[in-house]
Chains A and B, each alone.
Chain A
Amino acid sequence: MAILKFEGVKKQFGDNVILKDINFEIEEGKFYTILGPSGSGKTTILRLIAGFDYPNGGSIYFAGKQINQLPANQRQVNTVFQDYALFPNLNVFENIAFGLRLKRMKKKEIQLRVQEALALVHLAGYAHRELDELSGGQKQRVAIARAIVNRPKVLLLDEALSALDHKLRKEMQSELRQLQRQLGITFIFVTHDQEEALAMSDQIMIINEGLIEQSGSPVDIYDEPLNHFVADFIGESNIIPATMVRDFAVAINGKEFICVDAGITPGEQVEVVLRPEDLDITTVEKGKLTATVDSQLFRGVDYQIMVHDTDGHEWKINSIHKTTVGKQIGITFDPEDIHVMRKNETQAEFDARLESYQGVEA
């Protein structure tokens, strides 16, 4: 059963519409990520779940009960804030104990729960430190401990890792994932970092301009982006205009290629997505498309090579082999590397189409 449900939720501040129509269901015990550019409304969704703001329309259900106007202090949800929001006048122990003290829990119980929470975030022995003795990463852990010590049904994390440096962030990502499995509660993580989202989540919701663009597992979203925005936002991509010829065939630059997409009207103008790492460089003769190398950038693991084809489209290719700037090359790829996107197709329509022809195929 869904622990949390949004039904047609709207939110605006004055004339500024932040959320237009948000619908989703959150299941118990999974790691969700709400991903979107800044200003997309993702933090607002979190604030509506936490109860810091109330929706202007639609309904929010928590464990089946509508909680639209329920104040934050009565919700079984806790938040890890972007700036940690640790109380500067209290030490580590008192910060974590804050929620328990408000519940008038017994001292011994508090002691036990705080120690347990500290151990979970690998800060055992830090209870009596002052906040200004902690590093950024340690403050982050305290903030997490302060939230989970209350044993919420859902833990909200608002850009929780964005203040940390790259290495620490990677560490915290796997730790968070581990913590979520250990606790078995739902995590809802908000970020603008697509790499982070792909690495951590069971489910990703991509938000843009107050609407959910696509939701699904990281693999689904990466391999089958629904539209231009998602394809562009998630990972690196080449998005090229194309024409659908018939089922399983699409024309790029007037040349026909076999693909794995179907159920689209022949002759329809579409876009195809090809990931840079799926493209290979070969000789002009063996290539499916011919292109000229514009630039080459060494990035450690690979080279990022920018080329333009005979029709003037720019292509980005990630290759472990280097090439020469100015050289004529051939680009080659496999049919399953092509992903066709229809314009203005909704997720439901996409899913229905997928089902129809995958059924045929099988």
Chain B
Amino acid sequence: MKKTSTLSKLYLTVILLVMYLPIFYLIYYSFSSGDTMDGFRHFSWTHYQALFADTRMISIVLNTIIIALLAATLATAIGTSGALLIERIKRRTLRQNVLVLNNILMVSPDVIIGASFLIFFTFLGIKLGFWSVLLSHIAFCIPIVVLMVLPKVKELPQSLTDAAYDLGATRWQAFSQVTIPGIMDGIKAGFFMALTYSLDDFAVTFFVTGNGFSTLSVEIYSRARQGIDLEINALSTVMFLVSLLLVYVYYRFSVKPSSKGGVVK
């Protein structure tokens, strides 16, 4: 194919710059000794010191991570069983309907999910706080796990489980030694997506969080509503670095390490 023209390269560069500009803008001002995002004063670690001394913020970060890990783990377990279940449904229309139901939370606007969950928890008398947030996060992470795992389940040849039975495996052995490893890539991807969704969620959490409990998104929102606070900028830098690390981890572990080494023999 033809080489990409200079014009298109320029276009891509500009768009990518625009995409990263706000992030670097935040990071840049996090090192300013001032209190606003206009006019860089001089370099300082003040806002980082404030951030790391802010026990409320640190406990909120921990809360957010705990919620995300728990929600992603449970959603991955339930979503994987859901994907296996959907593939087992023989009747086409029924399977189609279950899939439609599965995808409702994927396509619903966040406010609707948040509002309807709020009604649901109030209706059941569940106190808003940690548990309502955790349940909500599990709930909206399940469909994404299903969608990531389902193609892998479909790709898994029936003959593979047959082969396991043929070689003397019980149902459980075939499931744990053949089926699960066979769909592991999908499970990993689902877990990471669930983690991202949970960490990133604001709207749903905002509705079901109540007063006592807060996640990072909600905290940033309420601070931002009060105006500029460069501690948030310092937080952005930290989060950006963590994201970079996570991206690295994700690519390192999701992309199969090539086994070329053996060929040399």
Q: What residues of chain A have their CB less than 8 Å away from a CB belonging to chain B?
A: 50-52, 71-74, 77-79, 81-83, 85-89, 98-99, 102-103, 128-130, 132-133, 146-147, 150
A-B contact count (CB 8 A): 73
Q: Is the CB of B169 within 8 A of A85?
A: no
Contact A99 B168 (CB under 8 A): yes
Establish whether residues A85 and B263, one from each chain, have CB atoms under 8 Å apart when the complex forms.
no
* In the bound complex, CA of A77 to CA of B184 (Å): 29
Interface residues of B in 138-179 (CB under 8 A from A): 157, 159-160, 162-170, 173, 177-178
In the complex, what residue of chain B is closest to A72 when comparing beta carbons? B165
List, in ascending order, chain B residues with CB within 8 A of A102's CB. Answer: 167-169, 173
Contact check, A130 vs B160: say whether CB atoms are below 8 A apart: no
Given contacts A73-B170, A102-B169, whether A129 and B262 have CB atoms under 8 Å apart is yes
A residues within 8 A CB of B164?
A: 87, 98
- Please give, as numbers and ranges, the residues of chain A lying within 8 Å of B160 by CB-CB distance: 85, 87
Instruction: Give A19 to B135 CA distance when docked, in angstroms.
Output: 51
Nearest to A90 among chain B residues (CB) is B181
Residue ranges of B at the interface with A (Cβ–Cβ < 8 Å):
157, 159-160, 162-170, 173, 177-178, 181-182, 184, 259, 262-263
Instruction: Determine which of B157, B159, B166, B263 lies in contact with A78 in the assembled complex, contact meaning CB atoms within 8 Å.
Output: B166
- CB–CB B262/A130 < 8 A: yes
Given A87-B163, A150-B168, 5 more pairs with CB closer than 8 A: A74-B168, A79-B166, A85-B163, A87-B181, A88-B181
Main secondary structure of the interface of B (DSSP, over half): helix
| A138 CB → nearest B CB, Å | 13
CB-defined A-B contacts under 8 Å, sample of 10: A51-B165, A72-B165, A77-B166, A81-B162, A81-B163, A83-B157, A83-B159, A87-B164, A102-B173, A130-B259
Q: How far is the CA of A127 from the CA of B178 in the complex (A)?
A: 20
Give bound CA distance, A50 to B166, whole Å. Answer: 7
Residue of A whose beta carbon sits closest to that of B156: A88
Given A72-B166, A73-B168: A133 and B181 within 8 A (CB)?
no
Ranked nearest first, the 8 interchain pairs of A and B with the lowest CB-CB distance are A99-B167, A85-B159, A72-B165, A89-B181, A85-B163, A130-B259, A81-B159, A79-B166
Quote the shortest CB–CB distance from B255 to chain A (angstroms): 14
- Chain B residues positioned under 8 Å from A77 (CB to CB): 166
B264 to chain A, nearest CB (A): 10
Give which listed residue, B157, B173, B181, B184, contacts A85 with CB less than 8 A.
Answer: B157
Q: Which B residues lie within 8 Å of A103 (CB)?
A: 168
Which of chain A's residues have a CB closer than 8 A to the CB of B166? 50-52, 72-73, 77-79, 147
Taking CB as reference atom, which chain A residue is nearest B173? A102
Cβ 8 A contact of A82, one of B159, B165, B167: B159
In the complex, residue of chain A having the shortest beta-carbon distance to the beta carbon of B259: A130
**Residues of the A chain whose Cβ atoms lie less than 8 Å from the Cβ of B165:** 51-52, 71-73
Closest chain-A Cβ to B156's Cβ sits at a distance in Å of 10
Decide if A133 touches B263 in the complex (CB within 8 Å).
Answer: yes
Q: Of all chain A residues, which has the CB nearest B165?
A: A72
With a CB–CB cut-off of 8 A, which chain A residues contact B181? 87-89
> Whole-angstrom distance from the CB of A22 to the nearest CB of chain B?
20
**Complex-state Cα separation, A50 to B178, whole angstroms:** 18
Q: Which residues of A contact B259 (CB under 8 A)?
A: 130, 132-133
Alpha-carbon distance between A6 and B182 when the two chains are bound, in angstroms: 35
Q: Within 8 Å CB of A99, what residues of B?
A: 167-168
Residues of B within 8 A of A147 (CB): 166-167
A98 contacts which chain B residues (CB < 8 A)?
A: 164, 167, 169, 177
Q: How far is the CA of A72 from the CA of B169 in the complex (A)?
A: 9
CB closest residue in chain B, given A51: B165
